[in-house]
Amino acid sequence: MYRYANAIGLDLERFDQDVRVHPTKLLHRVQDDAQDAEVMDLNSTPSFFVNGVRHKGPWDAASLIRALEAART
């Protein structure tokens, strides 16, 4: 776990303190996020939403711009 925290540049002293001082709080937050993702059928990252509707098309810039422009009308 610490290897991953270090790899993404987290403050390891704060991470260690959070894990040791608030382990139950952190576990509940992770479980809550996982439950939210399950309810919204989010099984991959990134997931894009345009005007509150999940974008299920390609993630390239041109496709996302088209989706944004279509949502404006």
Summarize pLDDT for 51-69 with one digit per residue, the tens. 988 898 899 999 999 999 9
Confidence (pLDDT) at 21? 84
Q: How far apart are CA 12 and CA 21, in angstroms?
A: 14
Query: What average pLDDT does the chain have?
Result: 88
End-to-end CA distance of the chain: 46
Confidence (pLDDT) at 58? 92
pTM for the full model? 0.48
Confidence (pLDDT) at 25? 84
Q: How far apart are CA 56 and CA 44, in angstroms?
A: 11
- What's the average model confidence in pLDDT over 25-33? 87
